[in-house]
Structure 1
Amino acid sequence: MKLTFLGGAGTVTGSKIILEVNYKKLLIDCGLFQGLKELRLKNWEKLPINGDDIDIVFLTHAHLDHSGYLPILVKNGYKGKIYCSEATKDLAKIILLDSGKIQEEEAHRANKHHYTKHEKAVPLYDREDAVNTLSHFQTFKLNEWFPINDTIKFKFLNSGHILGSTFIVFEINGKTIVFSGDIGRKKPIILPKYEYISNADYLVIESTYGNRLHEQTDIKEALLKPIIKTYEKGGTLVIPTFSVERAQEIIFLLSVLKRENKLPNIPIYLDSPMGVNATEVYLNYKNDHILSYEDVSSMLSTVHLVSDVETSKSVVSNKNQKIVLAGSGMLTGGRVLHYLDNLISDPKNSILIVGYQAVGTRGRALLSGDSEIKFFGSYHKINAEIFTINAFSGHADQSELLDWLKHFKKPPLLTFINHGEPHQSQALKTKIKNDLGWKCTIAKMENEYYLD
């Protein structure tokens, strides 16, 4: 057996892991690189393995950094299936179609306004490429074993990160290999918490927050503070929002605050076609979240859902006070940039960051205190007040990662740490070795690891 990390090693984006065993090549996740230009350029590089050499793709969840390279893989010759949970398939469809559309639009805008360094900007892939990927999906129920052949079987278990997110457990030649994907919180806002696993000979675990503990705070009150402060200034609050999970969590909390009569009387918009569609998916999977019928009804009455372009333009140009949730969550593209174009230079307005911001993204620049950010081909002065709530994270922190690990009955033979910036992975490695006494290593990009 051999593991090769083609992404998500030394970084939190581009997750791709090749597992080779018994003449099978299995790809665990197939994500896009995001953030720093040097990482984004990797999306244009040829993979060291041909698409038609891969037998099966396994998807832990639908987020772009785990699924966004799939249309390229298919375009380059992959003809096999993409195995995942039912909810992951539905969310991945929304995310991939949206990704293709955004890339088409960004290439068109770059060509129209002449801010591309190339003779002609072209999208990494387009909406048609995303559509061609959808027929490859095949879904499986959680907590059931499924055979690949006589020597390999697998099952999906709930990881509590987003709707449909899973751990993947393989039994191969009498050995158990576990891939964590992204691990959720011990007490999620709207999802059931992650499941525990008792046995693994080899483990691959994420380390996004391997070096820190999340804030212990009343998250409703933390959300209310920037709302009230911005309202008192006479401004608009923009919340760059990840369309899957984070948008639904915030809408839920806003609906609770509204029921408690704590919100100012201003309109609230979710201006994100992907966010609107993802919200509908959440509501369709009633057994996969903890929301009651009353919760759902309250959410739908609290927020105006905006999908079409004309309504979006109207909300953007409207100068009245409002709260706007818009993608993308790291400000890498999407409708949120149109709001910032109008609002970021005015100090009475505010921007609330509620999720992880990868190195090299505009969201990270805001958190770092930069004086300006570049989008639409020009630089924009940051005068709006910047707020952040770290407690919203959908990733387990160090203590929650250790909580999950402590439920293994015995140490794996080897634990691979991936999906983290170097200092995050190193901190988790040190903690695992000191507290648990486990043998572990930090995964390196394109290194080959042979398993006994």
Structure 2
Amino acid sequence: MANRPVTLTFLGASGTVTGSKFLVTIGERKVLLDAGVFQGEKEWRALNWADFPVDPATIDAVVLTHAHTDHVSYLPALVRDGFSGPVWATEGTRQLAEIVLRDAGRLQEEQAEQAKREGWSKHEEPKPLFTVEDVERTLPLFRTIDFDEDVDLGEGLTGRWTRAAHILGSASVRLELPETSVLFSGDLGRHDHPLLKPRGTPQGATYVLCESTYGDREHPEPELAHEPMAQAISRTIDRGGLVVIPAFAIDRTQAVLRALVQLMREDRIPRVPVVVDSPMALRVLDVYRDESLGELREDITVDDFTDLPQLIEARTGDESRALNRRFDPMIIIASSGMAEGGRVLHHLARLLPDKRNCVILTGFQAKGTRGRDLEDGARSVKINGHHIRVRAEIVRSNEFSVHGDATDLIDWLRDLDQEPETVFIVHGEKEVAEAFGDRIADELDWTAVVPRYGEVVSLIPGSADPPDLDVDRPEPPDRGEEPKE
């Protein structure tokens, strides 16, 4: 591998939070770090449908940090277009990715069919981004690894996965090459995850990619845990309303359930029915029950997020639709967390127009998503071609984010055993990433750069930078008006 050019190309999560894709090229060999879809603003989502900047058939391997959709859900599209190499991941990530990808393939097909049937797509023949068949061709490619063990990825390339405590199975990934090394933080958890063992400290590297989702802010440390959520639930139930909690199926639903168990045990909220209306979240719950993974904190058991007086599991479509006939006070947890798809949409369409009801947002809402529109006070949102009036109370609960805040991220960098040549700030909205880069420069006195989408850099210190990849870069939207569906 000596004397061969080694480059890094930023094909996602650069100038935006989602779409994680970073291409490491060693001579003719190509290894892709993560393979996620873009979410949020329309300009970025359009890239999901564009031709991939390099031929997927020429990619030798994919290395995954974790199973969130913006890190794994482009895999079936790569396979459809010719990728056939191994997909390296932890066992927890493999199990969760299987659930995520099968659910995504089904939703892609259903949404394309619905758009065609109801005529709300601008395309005469709307197509899914990928199909269930593409997913089934993807799953056999997974190869699992253990945390904190060197893995020979072939041709002198070694990978090592270190616990990131973001979601079950999540890791930071370090790639070692004969002449250089690169460390990708993946999504980093907070200093105290509510369910999982704490994150580890990876070995440092010549170059570091660090996420910056919350790079310009600090998470509050309330005196009384989940108090805003408890108050919102109590006043909603008092006025006869229903509570809807959009939540990601992985980790977020389980953390919300744990909070509700705590609040009911402490008599801080009424003991009303709690509905998990997400077959995917319920399948994920089964993975969390797998003790052989060894990822839960020592002081946590499954009862801590399932021991509710009235827990309703809506696994089938009929069970979900039956909830539309109920108006008694209850708490409904459904995906997706940014209200971009899934069963939460029909609950929002039904309940948003009634001021007795409440929507509790439990995590980061990317620009251009319905969740962000609700957070920003939108008077209406568009769901399946219809504009829905927003009269329900909208509450933001900051305690559920399992992304590290700015101090968590700085601490992770500071703990590395060497100063990198460059820290590339990724997975952040442009202004946030730039603010975090300034903090790195001020506090650590390190070189920090916010890369552009399509930018190519050399990973051999002192060598000339290669030209950028010839790709279309989305222009940022007018900040006065977010793009809509």
TM range (shorter): over 0.9
Aligned match for 2:289, one of 244, 262, 283: 283
Is residue 2:131 matched to residue 1:126? yes
Query: Higher mean Cα deviation, 211-220 or 441-450?
Result: 211-220
Name the structure 1 match of 2:147: 142
Aligned match for 1:355, one of 345, 360, 363: 363
SS of residue in 2 equivalent to 1:98: helix
CA shift, 1:174, in A, is: 4.5
Q: TM-score under structure 1 normalisation?
A: 0.97
- What amino acid does structure 2 have at the position aligned with 1:60? T
CA shift, 1:67, in A, is: 0.3
Name the structure 1 match of 2:73: 68
Q: Distance in 1 between matches of 2:197 and 2:99?
A: 23
Name the structure 1 match of 2:399: 391
Percent identity reads 36
CA shift, 1:167, in A, is: 0.6
Change (3 A) 1:150 1:376: closer
CA shift, 1:447, in A, is: 0.9
Q: Distance in 1 between matches of 2:145 and 2:182?
A: 18
Name the structure 1 match of 2:214: 209
SS of residue in 2 equivalent to 1:41: helix
CA shift, 1:317, in A, is: 2.1
Name the structure 2 match of 1:263: 269
Name the structure 1 match of 2:19: 14
- What amino acid does structure 1 have at the position aligned with 2:50? E
Name the structure 1 match of 2:443: 435
CA-to-partner distance for each residue in 1:298-330, whole Å, 9 max, x for gaps? Answer: 533323222111111111221111100001110
Q: Counterparts of 1:71-220 in structure 2 under 5 Å?
A: 71-149=76-154, 151-217=156-222, 218-220=224-226
Name the structure 1 match of 2:34: 29
Is residue 2:45 matched to residue 1:40? yes
Query: Higher mean Cα deviation, 38-47 or 120-129?
Result: 120-129
CA-to-partner distance for each residue in 1:227-263, whole Å, 9 max, x for gaps? Answer: 1011111100000011101100011111122222333
CA shift, 1:96, in A, is: 0.7
Name the structure 1 match of 2:317: 309
* Preserved contact between residue 239 and residue 353 of structure 1 (Cα < 8 Å): yes
- What amino acid does structure 1 have at the position aligned with 2:232? P
CA-to-partner distance for each residue in 1:326-358, whole Å, 9 max, x for gaps? Answer: 011101011011111211000000000001111
Name the structure 2 match of 1:336: 344
Aligned match for 1:367, one of 375, 378, 381: 375
Name the structure 1 match of 2:418: 410
SS of residue in 1 equivalent to 2:226: helix
Is residue 2:469 matched to residue 1:448? no
- What amino acid does structure 1 have at the position aligned with 2:296? H
* Preserved contact between residue 204 and residue 415 of structure 1 (Cα < 8 Å): yes
Q: Distance in 2 between matches of 1:198 and 1:67?
A: 24
Name the structure 2 match of 1:400: 408
- What amino acid does structure 2 have at the position aligned with 1:290? R
SS of residue in 2 equivalent to 1:7: coil
* Preserved contact between residue 190 and residue 291 of structure 1 (Cα < 8 Å): no
Q: Distance in 1 between matches of 2:38 and 2:320?
A: 28
Q: Distance in 1 between matches of 2:352 and 2:302?
A: 32
Runs of 5+ consecutive residues of structure 1 not aligned to the other structure: none
Change (3 A) 1:120 1:198: closer
Q: Distance in 2 between matches of 1:281 and 1:317?
A: 31
CA shift, 1:146, in A, is: 1.3
- What amino acid does structure 2 have at the position aligned with 1:360? G
CA shift, 1:145, in A, is: 0.5
Query: Higher mean Cα deviation, 229-238 or 197-206?
Result: 197-206
CA shift, 1:39, in A, is: 1.1
Change (3 A) 1:328 1:229: same
CA shift, 1:394, in A, is: 1.2
- What amino acid does structure 1 have at the position aligned with 2:338? M
- What amino acid does structure 2 have at the position aligned with 1:126? T
CA shift, 1:128, in A, is: 1.9
Q: Distance in 2 between matches of 1:198 and 1:138?
A: 23
* Preserved contact between residue 160 and residue 173 of structure 2 (Cα < 8 Å): yes
Q: Distance in 2 between matches of 1:201 and 1:104?
A: 43
CA-to-partner distance for each residue in 1:362-394, whole Å, 9 max, x for gaps? Answer: 000001111000012110000000000122111
CA RMSD for the aligned pairs? 1.3
* Preserved contact between residue 180 and residue 459 of structure 2 (Cα < 8 Å): no
* Preserved contact between residue 255 and residue 305 of structure 2 (Cα < 8 Å): no
Q: Distance in 1 between matches of 2:268 and 2:313?
A: 21
Q: Distance in 2 between matches of 1:389 and 1:375?
A: 23
CA-to-partner distance for each residue in 1:189-222, whole Å, 9 max, x for gaps? Answer: 1111211134211111111111111111133323
Q: Distance in 1 between matches of 2:157 and 2:280?
A: 36
* Preserved contact between residue 349 and residue 385 of structure 1 (Cα < 8 Å): yes
Runs of 5+ consecutive residues of structure 2 not aligned to the other structure: 1-5, 461-485
Query: Higher mean Cα deviation, 297-306 or 220-229?
Result: 297-306
CA shift, 1:172, in A, is: 0.6
Q: Distance in 2 between matches of 1:87 and 1:368?
A: 35
Name the structure 2 match of 1:421: 429
More helix by share: 1
Q: TM-score under structure 2 normalisation?
A: 0.91
* Preserved contact between residue 60 and residue 165 of structure 1 (Cα < 8 Å): yes
CA-to-partner distance for each residue in 1:111-162, whole Å, 9 max, x for gaps? Answer: 1111111112111112222122111111001111111235221111101110
